[in-house]
Amino acid sequence: MADQDTGSVAIVRRKAATAPRHLRQVLSLHDFEPLARRRLPRSVFGYVSGGVEAEVTLRANRAAFDRIALQPRILRDVSVRSQRLALFGQDHAVPFAVAPMGFSSLAAYDGDVALARAARQAGSFAICSAATLTPLERVATEGGSGWFQCYIPGDRARIEGLLARVAQAGFHTLVVTGDVPVAANRENNARNGFDAPFRITPQLIWQGLTHPRWTIGTLGREMTARGMPHFENMEAVQGPPLFSRDLVRSTIARDRLNWDDLRFIRDRWQGRLLVKGVLHPADAQTAAEAGCDGIIVSNHGGRQLDGSVATLEVLPAIRAAVPDMAVIFDSGIRRGTDVLKALMLGADFTLVGRPFLYAAASHGVEGVHHAMRLLADEVDRDMALLGVCSIAELRDQMPLLLPADWRG
Ligand code: FNR
C-alpha cells in the first residue's frame, strides 16, 4: 500500500513539473468539462456536451467500456514501451486523433485551427468538420489538417463541386458522415436557444452577458478577427451566415444520399475515402465493396439516434466482417484504458471528441496539447500496468475479460 501511494505521488509530481502552472490541477480529460461548463454559455456547452433525446446511447457508450475488465500480466520487463501506431502506412505518435466537431470555433477561439494544430504537435491529426465556421482551406494551411469530414449534399452537381474544393485545399482523406440523413432531435439545443435557424433571442443575449469571458474572448475575438461566422464548408462555396434562415435550405436533400452516391464519390475522389457512422457489419461490407479505404465505427457520440447500440459492443463483429479494411473507432473514449480496449476489440485507430473541444474552449491550443498528453500518459502507464510494450503486443496478448453476455 505504501509503495502504491509513493507511486501515485510520483506520477502527479511528474505531471506537475511538465504542465503549465494553470493546468496543473487538470489531471484527466474529465477535468476539462467543468472548466468548459464555466466558460461557455449554457447553449454552447449544451450543444457540445449533450446527446439526443433521453441520452440512452450517450450513457451506453460509457457503460460498455466499464463492462470490460482488464487482466494484467506481471513481471514482464515493460521498461521500453511505445504506443506509436501506423494508420494507412503513416506513423502516429499516439493511437488517437481528434474527431470532427462542428461549431468548434463557437466553443473555442479559432477552435478548428487550434484542434488541428495541437493534434499535429502531438504527432496525430484532427479531422476538420463540414459543420465548421472556419473555411476548410484555413484548417488545411494553418492547422495542417489533411482529413476532411463532409456532409454530402443530396445532388451530384453539388457533390462534385465540394469534392473539387476539398482536393484543391490539399486534403488527402475524405470522411463521409452517413448517420445524419436528417437532423437529430437534440432537445437540449432547442431548450437552450441553440437551434437552427439561429436567431438572436433575449435568452442568448442574457447568456452572453453572464459569460463575458466567452463573449469577449471567444465570440467577440472571432468576429473582430474574421467577421460574422458563416457555414463555410457544406458546399463548394461559402454557406449562409450563422444567424440565417437559409441554413435550413442549405442542408436539405441529405436524406436522399445512398450507397450509389458513395460509389459516385469514390469514382471522383482520388484520395482516401472513409464512411463514418457505421454500426452494422453489413454496412461495413458495403463500404468495402464500394471501394472505401476505411470506416469509422461511431454513433456520433450518442448525438443521432437515441437507443443506438454502444459502439464498443458492435466493434468486434464489424472488425470480423471487414478484416482487411481500416476500422477507426469513436464514441465515449475518456481514458487511456478505453483507447486500449477499443484497440484490443478490433480498432486500428481511435478518435476522441468532446474532451478535446472542452480543452480548446478552456485553454486553446495549450489546453488541447495538455489533454492529448494526459491521454498519452495514461495509455503509456496502462500499457506498463497491463504488461505490454507495444500495441502489437497488446493485440497479441489480449489482456481483457469480456462479460458472458457480451454482444460482440
Ligand atoms: C460532433 N460529431 C460530429 N461528427 C461528424 O461527423 N460531423 C460533425 O460535424 C460533428 N459535429 C460534432 C460536434 C460536437 C460538438 C460533438 C461533440 C460531436 C461527432 C464526433 O465526430 C464523434 O463521433 C463523437 O464526438 C465521438 O464521441 P465522444 O468522443 O464525444 O464521446
Residue type, 108: A
What does the pLDDT look like over 381-399, one tens digit per residue?
A: 999 999 999 999 999 999 9
Domain boundaries of the chain, sorted by first residue:
23-187+249-403
Catalytic residue among 300, 363, 369, 370: 300
Is any atom of ligand 1 closer than 6 Å to the C-beta of 186? no
CB 344 within 8 A of CB 398: yes
Residue 332 Cβ contacting ligand 1 at under 6 Å: yes
- Over the stretch 309-345, which tens digit does the pLDDT of each residue have? 999 999 999 999 999 999 999 999 999 999 999 999 9
- Which residue has the least CA distance to atom 3 on ligand 1? 101
For ligand 1, whether the C-beta of 134 sits within 6 Å is: no
Ligand 1 centroid from CA 3, angstroms: 41
Specify the pairing of strand 147-150 against strand 349-352.
unpaired
297 in contact with ligand 1, CB cutoff 6 A: no
Buried b (16+ CB within 10 A) or exposed e, 166-194: bbebebbbbbbbbbbeeebebebbeebbb
In angstroms, the Cα distances linking 89 to 10, 11, 86, 94, 272 are 36, 33, 6, 14, 12
- The neighbour count for residue 237, using CB atoms within 10 Å, is 10
87 lines ligand 1 (CB under 6 A): no
Q: Which CATH superfamily is domain 23-187+249-403 in?
A: Aldolase class I (3.20.20.70)
**Residue ID of nearest Cα to ligand 1 atom 14:** 101
**What pLDDT, on a 0 to 100 scale, did the predictor assign at position 246?**
62
Residue 48 CA to ligand 1 centre (angstroms):
8
| Nearest protein Cα to ligand 1, atom 1 | 101
CA distance 213 to 38: 10
Determine the pLDDT at residue 240.
84
CA of 374 to the centre of ligand 1 (A): 20
pTM score of the predicted model: 0.95
Q: Reply yes or no on whether the pLDDT at 84 is more than 80.
A: yes
The alpha carbon of 331 and the centre of ligand 1 are apart by a number of angstroms equal to: 8
pLDDT tens across 56-74, in order?
A: 999 999 999 999 999 999 9
